[in-house]
Copies of this chain bind each other. A is one copy, B any other.
Amino acid sequence: MDKAMAGIINVTGYAGIECARLLSSHPQVTLATVTGRSAAGHRLADVFPHLADSNLTIEEKLGEVDIVLVAMPHKESAREVLSLIEKGIKVVDLSADFRLKDETEYNEWYGVSHPAPQLLSQAVYGLTELYRNEIAGAQLVANPGCYPTGAILAMAPAVKQGLIKEYIVVDSKSGVSGAGRSLNIKTHYAEANEDTTAYALEGHRHLPEIIQELGLLQPDKKMRITFVPHLVPMTRGILSTCYAPLAGKITAQELKQIYSDFYSEEPFVKVTDTPPHTKHTRGSNLCLIHPTVDGRTGMMVVISCIDNLIKGAAGQAVQNMNLMLGLPETAGLEAVSVYP
């Protein structure tokens, strides 16, 4: 069988170039064409020496493809996606544009009018573990944000099971690559190194995604979700520590069983016996989850970690792409974490 032909729009950000790295060794898909703006006309291998063996040139416009991974900023992405969908091309959109079902929510959180609201109903939220079947049949998949990926996978089994009383706190610690490749004083080396800080206390744009998806798992329950992201001085990785007062009594062992059952068939989610390390996910598509109970207080504590650029972005996009193309879900994603 011929390999499928894939393209990447805006390959020059960290999510885009990570898609290129993963596709460069994908056994059943060929990366045929990539676009960029400032770097258009340059060889991909010159701008990104780790892809030295690539023969691609960064183009202004995409060539012919079966599927496209779109790694544009929000709003700009929707316009590109609309045009691709109209041509009948399959799309995994890594931006935020098609993640929220509710157009007004989008308009409020992103401060712009949604450029293509007519696509919202057909877009499938691309958290593979929750929407595997829908993704396989979709033309448009909205790849989740990095924080929501870790947070929703951490909380879904407990929320679905109805274990949560009301409050949920998601305290996330992200490596600095999560802030992207655009220059900013906050991600200037001497500022971010040897520093830890919280940000977006007034409400991070990934919060409505988390609310939407956990809400869909328990439509009748009111949940109060607080999400605080932090930057920690490392390049890759997100560790999310999630806290929720339990509705009833449950032991750590019972909780672990619920999680193990929920994820028993998942190739990329592992429930661990000990607190996981971001290092053990770096370079892989894994999500590690450790659920436990603070018996003194009746508080559930669940910790998840992922590589923000892989399971939190490019890897999950490839995972979704595989499903959309009818390929094995793990194709091109077998790499083991690079430890130490």
Contacts and interface: CB of A to CB of B under 8 A. Distances in A.
Interface string A183-204: 1110111111111111101010
Contacts of A106: none
Nearest to A20: B336
B299 A232 contact: no
A291 B309 CA distance: 32
A230 B240 CA distance: 11
User: For chain A, which range describes its interface: under 10, 10 to 19, 20 to 34, or 35 or more residues?
Assistant: 35 or more
A209 to B, nearest CB: 15
Interface stretch (A2-10, A83-91, A167-175, A258-266): A167-175
Interface in A1-39: 14, 17, 21, 24-25
A188 B181 contact: yes
B235 A193 contact: yes
A173 B173 contact: yes
A117 to B, nearest CB: 24
A283 B280 contact: no
A190 B340 contact: yes
A296 B203 contact: yes
A126 interface: no
Interface stretch (A43-51, A73-81, A93-101): A43-51
Nearest to A278: B196
B190 A188 contact: no
Copies of this polypeptide in the complex: 4
Contacts of A243: 169, 171, 226, 228, 243
A50 B224 contact: no
Contact of A299 (B224, B280, B299): B224
Interface stretch (A61-69, A140-148, A269-277): A269-277
A335 B335 contact: yes
A181 to B, nearest CB: 7
A270 B230 CA distance: 21
Contacts of A198: 239, 241, 275, 303
A149 interface: no
27 contacts: A49-B277, A50-B279, A50-B280, A51-B336, A167-B167, A171-B171, A173-B196, A176-B193, A181-B188, A189-B189, A189-B233, A191-B279, A193-B193, A193-B233, A193-B234, A194-B278, A196-B239, A197-B276, A197-B278, A198-B239, A198-B241, A201-B303, A224-B296, A226-B294, A233-B233, A236-B340, A338-B338
Shortest 5 CB-CB distances between A and B: which pairs? A224-B297, A195-B279, A183-B183, A50-B337, A190-B340
